């Protein structure tokens, strides 16, 4: 299938959920990255546990996990999946940037890229929500799939020499807490 062969349309050219009935089950893994840029003092307060709403990273981690499990409720054409694992790590990338890495796994007939993206996005939104009283200028993104494994289309990984502005480089990913 090439990029122009969209499978989300029926004979009437209306949206449909893709039929995955005959696809074989396999291990599916997706890793998504995001980040939140903020004032240096905001990030310092997160590190110090000095945010009045509580432990920002614990709440963001829980929100990201819950979001991954509810992706099909948010994105109309996503299949409800039995997710076997969601893991979220945070990285203090620069004095004003917090990195988010979500890894989602399942044994199933469709991939988990949307679940990994949703987890990273909602974790970032939660950080914004918990810190907006002290920093309304936070910027979320970029958010993207770094890697996926399994399925008919095979494995995928963004090249580390990616020159897109704002992308996370391999060097920035080294210290995930």
Q: pLDDT tens across 38-90, in order? A: 999 999 999 999 999 999 999 999 999 999 999 999 999 999 999 999 999 99
- 67 in a domain, yes or no? yes
What value does the mean pLDDT take over residues 124-135? 97
Mean pLDDT of 144-152: 93
Query: Is residue 165 over pLDDT 50?
Result: no
Q: Is residue 90 part of a domain?
A: yes
Task: Identify the pLDDT of residue 9.
Answer: 79
Residue 2 lies in a domain: no
Give yes or no for a contact between 52 and 59, defined as CB atoms under 8 angstroms apart: no
User: Considering the domain boundaries, does residue 165 fall inside one?
Assistant: no
- pLDDT confidence of residue 5: 63
Q: What are the b/e assignments for 2-30, b being 16+ CB within 10 Å?
A: eeeeeeeeeeeeeeeeeeeeeeeeeebbb
Q: Which of 129, 135, 162, 163 is catalytic?
A: 129
Tell me, yes or no, whether 46 lies in a domain.
yes
Q: What beta strand segments (E) does 77-124 contain?
A: 85-94, 97-108
CATH number assigned to the domain comprising residue 79: 3.30.70.640
Residue 160 binned pLDDT confidence (cut-offs 50, 70, 90): low
Which residues on neighbouring strands pair with residue 36, listed in sequence order?
Answer: 98, 140
Active-site residue flag, 129:
yes
Q: Report residue 97's pLDDT band, with 50, 70 and 90 as the boundaries.
A: very high
Range in 11-20, 46-55, 71-80, 142-151 with the lowest mean pLDDT: 11-20
Overall number of domains in the chain: 1
Residue 1, pLDDT above cutoff 70: no
17-21, 56-60, 93-97: range with highest mean pLDDT = 56-60
Confidence of residue 17 (pLDDT cuts 50, 70, 90): confident
Question: 66 is in which domain, residue-wise?
Answer: 26-151
Is 111 among the domain residues? yes
Whether residue 131 is contained in a domain is answered as yes
Query: Is residue 162 a part of any domain in this protein?
Result: no
Report in angstroms the alpha-carbon separations of 103 from 22, 56, 83, 90, 133.
Answer: 26, 19, 11, 12, 29
pLDDT at position 6: 60
């Amino acid at each position: 299938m090439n990029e122009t062969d969209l499978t989300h349309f029926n004979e009437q050219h209306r949206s449909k959920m893709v039929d995955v009935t005959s696809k074989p089950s396999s291990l599916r893994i997706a890793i998504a990255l995001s980040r939140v840029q903020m004032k240096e003092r905001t990030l310092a307060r997160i590190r110090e546990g000095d945010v009045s709403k509580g432990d920002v990273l614990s709440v963001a981690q829980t929100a990201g996990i819950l979001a991954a499990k509810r992706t099909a409720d948010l994105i109309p054409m996503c299949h409800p999946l039995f997710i076997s694992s969601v893991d979220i790590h945070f990285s203090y990338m620069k004095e004003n940037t917090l990195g988010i890495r979500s890894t989602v796994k399942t044994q199933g007939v469709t991939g988990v890229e949307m679940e990994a993206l949703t987890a990273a996005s909602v974790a970032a939104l939660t950080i914004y929500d918990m810190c907006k009283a002290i920093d309304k200028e936070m910027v979320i993104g970029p958010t993207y799939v770094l890697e996926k494994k399994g399925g008919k289309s095979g494995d995928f990984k963004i090249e580390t020499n990616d020159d897109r502005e704002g992308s996370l480089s391999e060097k920035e990913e080294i210290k995930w807490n």
